[in-house]
A and B are shown apart, each in its own frame.
Chain A
Amino acid sequence: GIQVEQSPPDLILQEGANSTLRCNFSDSVNNLQWFHQNPWGQLINLFYIPSGTKQNGRLSATTVATERYSLLYISSSQTTDSGVYFCAVERKYSSNTGKLIFGQGTTLQVKP
């Protein structure tokens, strides 16, 4: 099956700093989504981005599908950005059932 690797596994930032989270995947994808898991365990949709670049406030994401990676940028980080960030993909030419495969996540801690 498709492999999804996220880096770094852990990241500690000072409030106001910028960061880049990476997601590598081993095969072509139909779907790629970024999620933020908050301290209550909820998965918050950040981006649906199988290719291209999107921005939403202080967050932006870029997926280079031909090179099989995606980047999530967080600028001017805030303590509320803390949590786990997951990348999830659906492999292309799979059963087309929508099955998402998640990476292991990046745990971000933003210190005041």
Chain B
Amino acid sequence: EPEVTQTPSHQVTQMGQEVILRCVPISNHLYFYWYRQILGQKVEFLVSFYNNEISEKSEIFDDQFSVERPDGSNFTLKIRSTKLEDSAMYFCASSEMAVYNEQFFGPGTRLTVL
């Protein structure tokens, strides 16, 4: 069964460093998403991406965040200068269509900023 994969599973970084979280969505899916979950809290939407463009982003997704589909299979989230409050679980998801369509989530990357 096809699944969304994410690497790394756990990333530890120093405050101010850049990190890139990687995702491989399901191959025939066209819509891609990033969500995050701070420990003990609910899952929050960060950004949706379609046709090589951001289609919607949340207030959390400020200038330090960027997303990219560098090739036909990968989807990345870059955080330019990490802050302590960026420590969270980051989930990638994908779907065939945007509406009336199930989103499939990857296993997550746990980011720890020291």
Contacts and interface: CB of A to CB of B under 8 A. Distances in A.
- In this complex, the interface size class of chain A, counting residues with CB under 8 Å from chain B, is 20 to 34
A90 B33 CA distance: 13
B48 A98 contact: yes
B75 interface: no
Interface stretch (A15-23, A42-50, A57-65, A72-80): A42-50
A97 B101 CA distance: 11
B105 A101 contact: no
- In this complex, the interface size class of chain B, counting residues with CB under 8 Å from chain A, is 20 to 34
Contact of B99 (A42, A45, A98, A104): A98
Contacts, number: 70
Interface stretch (B12-20, B37-45, B64-72, B78-86): B37-45
Interface of B: 31, 33, 35, 37, 42-45, 48, 50, 55-56, 58, 89, 91, 93, 95, 98-105, 107-108, 110
Contact of A90 (B44, B99, B105): B99
A98 B102 contact: no
Q: Which of B45, B50, B58, B103 has the most CB of A within 10 A?
A: B103
